[in-house]
Structure 1
Amino acid sequence: MASILHKSIYLLFSIFICTISSIYADCTIPVVLRNTWFSFENGKQTITDINASEMTARGVCVNIKADYHVNYTMVFRYTNCYYCVKLIVRTVNVLEKIETPCVDIGPDEEPTVERVCKGLNPDQSLTTLFSENSVPVNCRSSLEGVWQFAYQNRFRFTGECNHPDAQIKSCQTAGTQFLITNQKFNITYRKCPGMSGTFDGVVEFSCLGHWFVDKNHFFAVANTKESRKDERYRCFLKNRDDDLYIGASITPQCNTLKTVEKSPERYRINPVKAEVVEPGCRLPQNFSGNWINTANIDADVVINETHIIETYYPDEGRFRRTIYVCREQRDTRVMMARLTVDGCQKDYVCFDFVPQHHNVIRYRKGLAMIQSNFHTVCSWVQFKNQVRWRYDIFLKKDPTPIRCPVAGKFNFTQRGDVKFETRILGGVTLSPRPNLYCKLNISDFSVCDVDQKTIQIKENYCLSVDYLGRPVDIYSDPDYKMNCIGYWKENLKSYLITYDELDPFSKYRCWVYQRADLNRVLMSQALGPYCDLKQDVTSWNYTEGAAVAVEMEEYERERDQCPMHFDDGSDPWSTKENYIKVFSFSYSFWRGNSASTIHVFIPLYILVVVYLLK
C-alpha cells in the first residue's frame, strides 16, 4: 500500500514538473529584449538583465504575448507571486516598460497573461530602459540640420539664453568610410551675460534611435564624453506641428517630456545655412522682385540677380526656407545650387525658364543631384519625362493689371461646385437702392472699362432699358471684380490668371478659356491659382480641379460702348494695350497753312470785330 502511495505521489509530482516545464518552454524571451538595461526608477539607478528566460528582480518567464513584434506582455514567476511586465520596443537601444505589483493567484489557476495582467494600468507612467551595450544608429531620421538656438532650463536658471553662436549641428557626410561621423551630433552652448546657469561648451551625442507617439517625435541619445550613467542618457522631443522648438530631458527618463514647449530643457531653434556658395551667373533682370510659387503652397519667393529665396508656410507661425544660387546658365536652362531647408548640405537643381511675360514666370525644375556638372544636372533627361506635363508658375506678389484677353459684354450660364453668387462688396451699400421693375434678369460678365483690364461679374443683372434705350440698372455694383494679370497658350489650351484682393480662398485664380464661335466664349475657373492638367473649358467640378464653368454669349447694346476683344495667348510677349488711336487723313486745313498764314488772318479778324462793335 505504501509503495502504491509513493508511486502515485511520484506520478503527480512528475506531471506537475512537466506542466511547469511546458509553461517555461512556451515562454522564450525574444532576442531583441535580451540585454543589460539601465533605467532610473523611483529615484534610483537600476540595472536590469534580461536573458532567454529570466528578468532581474522579476523572476522566471512563464507566459508571453506578442503584439506586432514590438509590444511584449510577459508573466514572470517570482517566489510565490507573479509579475506582469509589458515591454515596448522603441529602438534596438531603447525599451519602455509598464508593470503591475506582484499578484497572487489560486493554486489551481493557470498564470495566463489575461489573468495576471488584468490589473495592468495602460495609463501609468512609462519607465525608459537604455541599452548598456548600445549600437549607435544614423542620426538623419532623428535630427538633421543646422540651427541657431536659444535655450532655457527650468531647474537651473530663469529666462532664456539666446546667443548668436549657440548652435545645433547634425549633418551627414555622404560616402564617408567612417560611419560613426553620421551617428553623432553636436550642441554648442554659449554663456549669456548675467545668467549664472549658462555655460560655454560643446556636448557630443550619439544617436540611439527614434520613435513616434502620435505627432510627438522622440529620439534617445547618449553623451559620448560622459561616464556617469545617470548623466549619459537623455531623451529629446520634437513635434510635427511645432518644429520651432525641441524639448530635452535632464534625467534618463522620457516620461518627463509631455510637450516641446513645457519640457525641462527647451530649445527654440532657427534654421541656418551651413555653407556659402558664390554665384557664377546672373538671372534675367526682369525676374527680380517678390513672387509667389503656386506649385508649393503659394510660397513666398524673392528673386534678385543671383539668388532665389523660397519660403513656404506649412502651418500658422511655421516656415521652411530654401535658397537657390545661380551657378551656370546656357540657353533657357540655369543650374542652381540648392541650400536645403535645414542647411546641412547643398545639391544642384536645373531650372528651365520661359521668358517672363506680364506678371508670370513659367518654369520647370529637374531632379536634384549631388554633382555640379552642368551637362549632367541640366541634361534634358533630368526633367520628368511624363506624357502630359505643364510648366509651373511664379506670379507677381503685387501684380500690375494688363489688358484682358477676353473683353466685351456677355450673358452667361454657369455650372459648378462653387458658383458665382449675388453679394454686396464691402458689406453695406452707401445708400438704399431704388426698386426697379425688370422684365429680364441675366448673369452678366463684362470687361468694359477703357483699358479693358478689369472683369466685372454680376450674377443677377437687370437687362431692362428705358424708352430711350438706356439701361435702368445703373445703381447696382458688380458681385465680383478681378484684374487680369497674365495669359498664355500652352498644350493647345489658353490660360488666364486673375487677381481678386477680396477672394477669401485665393487672391489668384487660373482660368482656361476658348472662343467657341464668333460671339461665344467658354471659360472654366480653377479652385486655386493654378490649373490642373485635366482641366479644360468644360470642367466644372473638383475632380478636374475646377470650381465653375461658364458659357458666355455676347449681347452688347447700343449704349453699352463695350467692344468685344479676344486673344488666345499665342504671343503673350507682344504689347496689346488698348491705346487711343489718332487717325490722320490725307487733307487737313491746318496742315496746308503755315503759322505765318494765321498771323495774316488775325488782324483781319480783329478789324471785323471792331467794325461790328460800332
Structure 2
Amino acid sequence: MVSLSFQSVGMDTLLRILLLSFNVWLSLAYHCTFPVEWRGTWYQSGVAQGKLQITKHSISQRGHCVNNVGTKYLLLDKSKECFVCLAFTPQHDNLLQFKESYCTRDENLANVCDRITGDDILHTIVKVPSVPVPCPFQGPYSFSYNNQTNRDCDSPSSEIQECADSSKFIFKYKRCQHTPETRDQDMQFQCLATWFNGDFFLYGMFTGSGLTEQTQMYRCFMYSFYGSQGQMAMSADPTCQGIQSPRTGYLTMSLSRAVKWTPPSCSYSEFLSGSREWRDIAGKFRFVLDEDIEQFRIFRVGTRRGDNSALVSVRCMGVVEEIPDISDNTATWPSQTYSKDFITYTTNDSCVSRYQCLRLKKRGPAVVELMLGTPVNDQDRACNEWSFDNVHKYVILPMESRVVPCPLPGSYSYVDKMSDCRGEIEIGCSDSTIMAIKASCPSGHHTVELFQCNQNWTEHPTGAQYIITSKPGDTVQKVSDCLVYKESIDGFELVAEEECGGGNLRMMKKPIGVIIQPSRQACKTTDRRVQPQPSTNPHTRAEGEGHTNDVRGGRDNRGYSGNNHNTIPKVDTKDITIINTANRRTCSRCIALLCVLVTLLSSLR
C-alpha cells in the first residue's frame, strides 16, 4: 500500500509537469501574445524594484501567457505551478490598469477570470520612460487645499503656474497659518496620461526638493472644471485607489483661474491663418499655433514634432491697436501691408509668466514680421512706447512655403562693394524661380551662386524690393534670408539685409553686397538650363574644391560661425546640367538605324 501511494504521488507530479508543459506549448502554438504597444518597462508600486517587464509572451513576476480573450489574459506562474487571470483596462499609451485573480490550478480562462470581483485592487502601471502629453488645463490658477484636515488651507492662497512646455506646470504650495504640518513647497508636475471613463483622470509625476522615491513622485488625479473654477482630488500613492470624486480623495483642491482669458475673438488669424506651423527665415525657430489660433509656441529647430519642450508660449489677451500702412497703395499685391499690436501672456521654459506686447506686420501673402516687446508684470504697461526698444525682429514664413517666380527678371552687371570682383546677376533666366550670381575676380577665382526665391514684397514709400531667398535643394534645414534691391547714392544695390534676416547669405565667404548697373538686359542663358542638383550630404565638400572655377548650389553655403557651418560646401561643375534636345533626337535615330541594320544582317544569314 505504501509503495502504491508513493507511485501515485509521483504520477500526479509527472502529470502536472506534463500539463504545464502542454499549456506552454499551446501558448506558443496559438500565439498568445501581448500587444506590441504594451511591451517594455513599466513602473508598478509595490513590486520588486518597482519594475514590471512585458514581453511578447510574458509579464515578469506574473507568468507566461497561456490564453487570452480580448484584454483578459491567463498566465502560468511556473514557480507556483498555478494559473492567474489579469483583466486589463488600457487607459492610455502610457498607462494600463488591471485586476488580477488568485493563483489556482484551474487552467480554464473563463473560470479563473470569473473569480475577479469589483472589490479587488485596481493596479496602475505607467510606462518608463513615458512620452509626456499636453496637460488637460492650461493657465495660472490659485487654489486652496485640504489634506484630510478639518479646514481648507486657503490663506495665503497657493498657485498653479503654467510652463511653456504644455506637458508641465508647477504647484506652488503655501504654508497654511492654522495648519503647522504644511510648508512652502514648489513642485513641478509633468502630465503623462489623461483619460475619461465617466470621470476625467490625470496621471503624472512630481519632481522637486525632498522627492527621491518613485512612490512619492507618481500620482493620480480626478478632476472637473467648469468655467474658471475647478476641483481636483489626488491619490495617496501611485495608484488611482481611494479617489471617489473630484471632491473626495487623499488631498483635494479648489481652483480658480488667476488670469482672465479673453473671448475667442482675440486671435492671430488675420496674420497666421495660412499655416499651423511657421519658421523664421534664419532657420533657427519654429512657431506652432494651436487649433484656435489664439496661442502659439516657439520651439528651437531640431525639436521633434510632438515634443512639448517649447522655449516660450504666447497667448493672445487682446488687441491694442491696428496700425494702417496708408502709404502702401501702390504695392505689388494690393492693400495687405498692415500691423497690429496685441497684449499677450507669455510663459518661458523656466515656467515664468509675464505680459508682452506682440507686433505682427503682414509683408506679403505668406510673410509676417513678428516682434515681442519687453516682458512686464503689469498688463496695462505691456504696450508702452518703449516696448520694442532693443528687441529682435523675426521674419517668418509657413514651414512648407513654396518657391515663387523671382521679381525683376533679366540679366544685370555688378561690381562688388567690398572687393575688386565683378560679374553678372541672372534673375529668372535659367528658371523663373532661380537667381544666379556669377563672380569673376582679378585673382582668377570664378564662382556661381544659385538662390531660389521664396517670397518678395515692395517696401513703400522707399520702393525697396525685398526678396526672401534660400539655397536650392534645402529641404531639411529650410534656411532662408533677405536680399534687398534698393536705390542708394552709388546707384542700385543688392545687399543681404541684416535687419530682415541676419545677412547670412554669402558670396565667396562674404555677405552679399553689390552695386548693380541700372540697365537691365535680356537673359543670356537661352540655349541651356541651369539645374542645381541637391547634394545627399550637404556638409561634405565636393571634388572640385580648391579649383579656380566652381559652381555652388549646396544647402549650407552661408558662413555660420556655429558648429557644422564653418566649412563652405561646394558643388562640382557636374552639378550644372546642359540639356541639348537635338542630341537626344540624334541618339534615338542612331539606335533605331542600328536596330534595322542588325535585323537585315540576321535575315541574310
TM score, norm. by length of structure 2: 0.40
Structure exhibiting the larger radius of gyration computed from Cα positions: 1
TM score, norm. by length of structure 1: 0.39
